[in-house]
């Protein structure tokens, strides 16, 4: 249930960003915005579930920026009318910036309410530091006896 709620929040945030940029500034059709928003949300949500706990908020938001830019650019070139005086590249970049800004807050929601033990010190997927144990080992029993006699 937590993931379903998180998915629909992401869908709403993505659609709101796309409607704001593509709908108001670039006069894209609402159906095209729904199609692009649905595809982007599915791909980016899967990325958030598997990438965000491992790499952190900023890098996951940057990955969402790249996914949004490439997705809007690819789908926009297929769906948008070519006779418009709209640069698909600039529309994709501006919409991806809005999605990036919204994703920073959305990822904070995911980390606080959906993912469990992401920031805990005992979470092994988060800890990337390796530790080494140092100890004295005596393979030769005579050396060990002499070491014990010295102390």
pLDDT digits (tens, 9 = 90+) for 39-83: 999 999 998 888 888 887 888 889 999 999 999 999 988 888 765
132, part of any domain: no
Asked if residue 24 belongs to a domain, the reply is yes
Residues 6+ away with beta carbon under 8 Å from 113: 2, 6
In a domain, 128, yes or no: no
> Looking at the predicted structure, is the pLDDT value of residue 31 above 80?
yes
Using the predicted structure, report yes or no on whether residue 5 has a pLDDT greater than 60: yes
pLDDT of residue 41: 95
Is residue 46 situated within a structural domain? yes
In a domain, 72, yes or no: yes
Q: Please indicate whether residue 127 or residue 114 has the higher confidence score (pLDDT).
A: 114
Classify residue 127: in a domain, yes or no: no
pLDDT number for residue 26: 84
Domain span at residue 102?
2-114
Residue 120 lies in a domain: no
Tell me if 10 sits within 8 A of 41, measured CB to CB: yes
Q: What is the pTM of this model?
A: 0.72
pLDDT tens-digit profile of 96-123?
A: 999 999 998 998 898 888 887 665 544 4
Determine the pLDDT at residue 123. Answer: 44
d(CA 61, CA 139): 53
> Would you state the pLDDT for residue 124?
45
User: Of all residues in the chain, what percent are helix, strand and coil, respectively (each to 5)?
Assistant: 75, 0, 25
Residue 19 has pLDDT above 90, yes or no: yes
Looking at the structure of the chain, the number of domains it has is 1
- What's the pLDDT tens digit per position in 84-101? 556 888 889 999 999 999
Q: Does residue 150 lie within any of the structural domains?
A: no
């Amino acid at each position: 249930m937590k993931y379903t709620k998180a998915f629909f929040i992401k869908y709403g945030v993505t659609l709101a960003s796309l409607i704001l940029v593509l709908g108001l500034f670039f006069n894209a059709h609402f159906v095209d915005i729904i199609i692009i928003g649905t595809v982007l949300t599915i791909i980016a949500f899967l990325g958030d579930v598997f990438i965000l706990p491992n790499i952190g908020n900023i890098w996951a938001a940057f990955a969402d920026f790249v996914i949004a830019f490439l997705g809007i650019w690819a789908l926009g070139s297929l769906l948008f009318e070519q006779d418009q005086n709209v640069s698909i590249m600039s529309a994709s970049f501006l919409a991806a910036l809005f999605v990036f800004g919204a994703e920073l807050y959305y990822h904070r929601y995911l980390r606080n309410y959906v993912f469990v033990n992401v920031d805990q010190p005992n979470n092994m997927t988060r800890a990337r530091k390796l530790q080494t144990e140092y100890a004295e080992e005596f393979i030769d029993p005579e050396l060990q006896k002499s070491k014990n006699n010295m102390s």
